[in-house]
A and B are shown apart, each in its own frame.
Chain A
Amino acid sequence: MTPIVEGRGLTRTFPMASGPVTALRDVSIEIAPGEYVAITGPSGCGKSTLLHLLGCVDAPTEGSLVFEGRDVARLGESARSRIRLTRIGFIFQRFFLLPMLDAWENVELPQAEVGVAPDDRRQRTRELLEYVGLSDRAHHRPSQLSGGEMQRVAIARALANRPALLLADEPTGELDEDTGEQIGELFDRVHADGTAIVVVTHNPLLARRARRHLAMKRGALEMTQS
């Protein structure tokens, strides 16, 4: 099966005043359609850096990245934006919902950006808010939602354009254990519905839900467990 994203020899070095810092060194990784992968490891080991490379928001210093058969290094900024908008969904630790929009509008926004027709957009937004169990909170702003509810809205927003790959960076980092469990269950459903998921987490309960587990240390993959 052709992987959604395939990285070969990925290295990412950041220039710093005290000298270059290599956050990721020679990592190779493939994510197949419908896979559920957890990446764990200590803080600063390069998990988020790897996630950002897989999500085409950052470029490797060395190595190659191919997304659905296209060499990302050869793509311009607008083409990479388009991939992120239509093929990748992002979930962040701090949600980053737009505070001036309500839940409905936050979920509708990426669809509008793609140009989905208003009727289809409404239908999809309704479905997604039902999917994450927030139909009754559709017209609440982020400030009126709990952390778990905000993360569920963020998941609905990430799924809005039916991405092939969902990337989540510490999605339970701001949540208590029970709420984290609910998010984990939601990821299970998303995975069951056929979307590939890569989740970076410190939460062992969430990591355990993944079908494949990658452990990182000092910028390198240490262990792969299926």
Chain B
Amino acid sequence: MTSRALAWRTMTAQPGRAGLAIAGVAVIGALLFDMLLLSHGLLLSYRALLESAGYDVRVVSVDNPIVRMPIPEATAVARAVERLPEVREVAILRRARAAVLAPGRKPADVTLLSVSPRADRLAWRIVAGDDLMVQQHLTDPPPLVINRKLAETLSLSPGSTVRVRLALADASALPAVAFRVAGICENLFDTAADLTASTDADGFERARAGFGDEAEVLLVASRPEFGPTAAVAAIERLRPNLRAYSNEQIVAQINENGFAYFRQISFVLSSITLGFAFLLIATLLTVSVNQQLGQIAALRALGFPRSRIAATLLWESAVLVGVGGVLSIPIGWALASILDRILRDMPGISERVHFFVFEPGAIVVHLGLLAATGVAAAAYPVWIATSLPIAATLRLETIS
């Protein structure tokens, strides 16, 4: 009989103990799995969000990709950037605070967006009605795509007519301009509470009534033969007063600054869960060994080598941790889904951002950590079992 079979028989002889141990490992393992998903989840999610827009470089006016200041003379800058050999496409993203006025409703404060024609297809997903491009030929009134939240707030549907008044700091008395709701969308970067409306460049120009030519950010797609790093360098050479960031750089900055808290929390909680797993397995195996000291001493007296005893205990630990570890993955995934939903309800979080993101590597790390914990947890009971004095133990176990 192999050590593995002996370990299996030891555990199945006490199904209650084995079941409780496996359940304990599964629950603790689920928490560990969630911490691993959390440690990289936001970063992976944010990277996916950036990449889903179809642009790999962002150009802003200050040395920080998160704090946005307007880029002056945006149209001219965009044209100059688009002429660079490293650049395939440039989109201008404009943003302003505005009030949307619907008949019989209180005005709604919204964010009005305008994205260059080729970018709009990636910034949102139409769920009802038409996209801006479809109705470009209908010039009056200009089209508006609104998000679900705004549609619900003002009871709007495709075909509704609204008026929009921009709230620019230097032009507070702008007239309200009529817009026709072309479609309802899900916006990539919206939070659950955001009210957003998007229009084309012409519509934004009308609402702005010619005040300034500022952009929030320029979205740049590099040519594949050059890549984003070369595009970033070329743009900064062209316009030293602007800052260009590749998606990689943005993710790296966020990783260093914004998500450091999540990493630290995840590290601390992972360490604690591993500690619990260690204590659980070590306690169970130690109790088990202490209950079997007589049998172990007898086996040693019968000539079973220390390595055999150690291997049996290691197998016992491996089976407990292995079965519990595998069960912990679906449990952890279910738990992660619930926690993700709760966290995404926080104000200011885009609906497309996820805190817990699955990646195959997480399973490998998860099982590796549990395996190492299982081996470490078995170390003490293995030491007890292999170093016990045979004669003294037999004597004690006989008289006790």
Interface string of B301-330 (1 = CB under 8 A from A): 111111010000000000000000000000
Given contacts A90-B302, A96-B298, A96-B397, 8 further A-B contacts (CB under 8 A): A48-B391, A52-B391, A52-B394, A81-B304, A83-B303, A84-B303, A90-B301, A110-B304
Interface residues of B (CB under 8 A from A): 1, 9-10, 12-13, 294-295, 297-306, 308, 389-391, 394-395, 397-398
Interface centre among B298, B301, B390 (most CB of A within 10 A): B301
B289 to chain A, nearest CB (A): 14
The answer, yes or no, to whether A223 is at the interface (CB within 8 Å) is no
In angstroms, Cα B299 to Cα A93, docked, is 14
B302 lies within 8 A of A94 (CB):
no
CB proximity of B269 to chain A, nearest CB, Å:
37
* A92-B298, A96-B294, A109-B1 known; A85-B398 Cβ under 8 A: no
B390: nearest chain-A partner, CB-CB: A57
- Determine whether the beta carbon of B390 is less than 8 Å from that of A96: no
Within 8 A of B (CB), among A21-76: 48-49, 52, 55, 57-58
Closest to A43 in B: B399
Minimum CB–CB distance from B20 to chain A (whole Å) comes to 17
- Chain A residues within CB distance 8 Å of chain B: 48-49, 52, 55, 57-58, 77-78, 81-86, 88-90, 92-94, 96-101, 105, 108-110, 112-113, 157-158, 169-170
Whether the Cβ atoms of A110 and B302 lie closer than 8 Å is yes
Tell me the smallest distance from the CB of A33 to a CB of chain B, in Å.
19
Give the contacting residue for B302; candidates A49, A77, A85, A112; CB below 8 A.
Answer: A85
Q: How far is the CA of A110 from the CA of B304 in the complex (A)?
A: 8
CB pair B305–A78 under 8 Å, yes or no, is: yes
Bound Cα distance A78, B306 (Å): 8
Indicate the member of B13, B294, B398 with the most A CB atoms within 10 Å. B398
What residues of chain A lie closer than 8 Å to B302, measured between beta carbons? 84-85, 89-90, 110, 157-158
Q: 10 closest pairs, A vs B, by CB?
A: A85-B303, A96-B298, A100-B13, A84-B303, A52-B391, A58-B391, A57-B390, A100-B9, A81-B305, A90-B301
A114 to B381 Cα, complex, angstroms? 25
| Bound complex: CA A100 to CA B391 (Å) | 23
Q: Across the interface, which residues of B come within 8 angstroms of A101, CB to CB? A: 1, 9
Alpha-carbon gap, A29 to B297, bound state (A): 25
Give the residue name and chain of the A residue nearest to B12 (CB). A100
Q: Are A92's CB and B303's CB within 8 A?
A: no
Closest to B394 in A: A92
Contact B398–A94 (Cβ < 8 Å): yes
Report chain B residues within 8 Å CB of A58: 389-391
How many angstroms from the CA of A49 to the CA of B390 in the assembled complex?
11
Which one, B1, B10, B389, B394, contacts A108 given CB within 8 A? B1
- A183 nearest CB across to chain B (Å): 17
Residue pair A55, B306 in contact (C-beta under 8 Å): no
CA distance A85 to B299 in the complex (A): 9
- With A57-B390, A58-B390, A108-B1 in contact, do A99 and B13 touch (Cβ < 8 Å)? yes
Chain B residues near A157 (CB-CB < 8 A): 302
In the complex, are the beta carbons of A52 and B398 less than 8 A apart? Answer: no
Give the residues in chain B near A108, CB-CB below 8 Å: 1
Q: Given the complex, which residues of A lie within 8 Å of B394, measured CB to CB?
A: 48, 52, 57, 92, 169
Beta-carbon nearest neighbor of A111 in chain B? B1
- Assess whether B391 is in contact with A57, with CB atoms less than 8 Å apart: yes
With A99-B13, A100-B13 known to touch, is A92 a contact of B398 (CB < 8 Å)? yes
